[in-house]
Amino acid sequence: MHITYIEEIENNKKVDKTIEAQPNKSILEISLGNKIPHVHACGGNAKCSTCRIMVLSGMENLSEISEKEKILAQKKGFSKNIRLACQTYVHGDVKIKRLVKDKLDEEIALSNQFTGKEVSLAILFADIRNFTSFTERHLAYDVIHILNRFYKRMGDAILNHQGYIDKFMGDGILALFGINDKDSQQKCTNALNAAFEMKNNLQEINQYLRWNFNEEFQVGIGLHFGSVIVGDLGHPEKKQLTAIGDAVNFTSRLEKFTKSIKTTILISEEFAKVLNNPEILDKEYKVQIRGKTGTHKIYSLLETKKTYTSLRNLLKEKMNKTLAPTILRLVFHDVMSGGVLTAHMHDKDILQLELSKPENQGLEEAVKFIQKIKNILKEEPYSYRDILYLSGAVAVEITHGPYINLVIPSYSNKQFLEIGIPLSEEKFESFYKKFQQLGLSKKEMVALIGAHTLGKENQKPFTEDPFKFDNSYFKRLLFYQEDSSLSKMLYTDWELLKDQECKKYIEEFAIDENHFFEEFKNAYIKMIQFAV
């Protein structure tokens, strides 16, 4: 078996060099043993990426990626054909290319946090219209002060929806959505909701401008979905994760049409297809984009979701951590009982009858909170169910759990299947069947039961911090020790440990909190969607 090094320098000429490979030595060791210069700043211990190689052929003839290499590859954003020579062993013929070849390469490699990859993202570009004339009318201090206030509120909207602020450009903002996500539709949903929140926050900014400067901003926002190259760029002393590619240029040019079309937000055809939500589309336009051939379809949007983000912000403002566990419990009880609680929140007598049932004891405070929010919203198009399910997502978020992105209104007129709330002494097969009726797998069921990390039973918490959403409940379930200050575990949860598949998921979630967060987030959305 052999390693072929592509484009090696020998006698000032580029040549392909093939050498014999020993199965018990890493590629780095083989390189150094054959006097092929191979940079390895950390000494070959997978603590840097300077020995990385690109595998051009023979991937199947290489050793499996080690745990140390996997961690560094995820951090750096390596594609599958990029390997660390110090961790890779050869079992057959391969062709490789060294990627770090001299001191300058080494300096750049060591300064990179993210080496670069091609990925499809939702891209947002926002710009203040006629800003140049604004700067001419005001002092330099005021211009910078106002811009920073603008950037703060616009940036908040981006960060609130899992976006990454790529750069501020004078009076414009470039943001990326989905650098580490896999769900393309979710990327576009996040970007769209950020755009709605930016538009909403602009009202607050303009009120400030009118009072203090007798001015008002108009903003254009373009949204596009496309392939870009993402990586750390810049001088080794001042690098930044950024995106480059035609899709970025397309987005900035798309934004320019908001002025002539007289609208705030425009989306591309590509964005609209991935978003797959035709109900929000208003008018279609065919335009020519500078630098692109042919015509391109773009869309303005209806305003049906104009208060979505303000609702989420309202919930975050009004909800406290001590209420969060009860809110989340109310979500589960509403779904399992066929939506009967939210269906009758307007009917005092029937609601009181439902709340008097033993399984619903203690939910009154959460119900009053949902009714209070509904009363604040008055004529807004949100049902009690919309408010409750988004409240559940916010309850997880404010207790340091994952951000669960829901697009609402969506649940107002849905019909639910009545499953029945799992009982405290129920056997495994019985309560698992109830989750199955919701279309949930064992893994999803275990993830949802992780919500027991919040709250108390009989005035005692299950975990040391009853208002912090983490994986503590799984740890305690797996490594249970009697503690008089904590509540005993639920019988139904002990039942989970009797099933080997469920026990495996409990172990996974106890070890990896991020894995639990991802599974809980997906299971929560699936639960409330399947129930319709």
- At residue 448 the predicted structure's pLDDT band, cuts being 50, 70 and 90, is very high
Read off φ and ψ for residue 307, nearest 5 degrees: -110, 10
Residue 268 in this model has a pLDDT that exceeds 90: yes
pLDDT (mean) for 292-310? 72
β-strand pairing of 94-98 with 2-10: parallel
Distance, CA of 263 to CA of 287 (rounded, Å): 15
- At residue 532 the predicted structure's pLDDT band, cuts being 50, 70 and 90, is very low
Res 167: pLDDT: 86
β-strand pairing of 219-235 with 82-84: unpaired
Angle at 278 between CA 275 and CA 283, to 5 degrees: 110
The whole-angstrom distance between residue 32's C-alpha and the CA centroid of its chain comes to 42
Residue 218 in this model has a pLDDT that exceeds 60: yes
Domains of the chain, start order: 2-111 (3.10.20.30), 117-301 (3.30.70.1230), 308-398 (1.10.520.10), 428-530 (1.10.420.10)
Residue 306 in this model has a pLDDT that exceeds 50: no
Distance, CA of 326 to CA of 329 (rounded, Å): 5
The per-residue pLDDT for range 176-214, each reduced to its tens digit, is 998 877 788 888 988 998 898 888 888 888 888 888 888
pLDDT (mean) for 139-167? 85
The per-residue pLDDT for range 480-525, each reduced to its tens digit, is 767 777 777 777 778 888 889 999 999 999 888 888 998 999 899 8
The per-residue pLDDT for range 1-24, each reduced to its tens digit, is 888 877 655 555 566 788 888 878
Res 307: pLDDT: 40
Considering 16-30, 101-115, 129-143, 439-453, the range whose residues carry the highest mean pLDDT is 439-453
pLDDT (mean) for 443-466? 83
DSSP 3-state assignment of 55?
strand
Report the predicted TM-score, pTM, of the whole model to 2 decimal places.
0.50
DSSP string, 138-173: S-HHHHHHHHHHHHHHHHHHHHHTTEEEEEEETTEE
DSSP state of 441: -
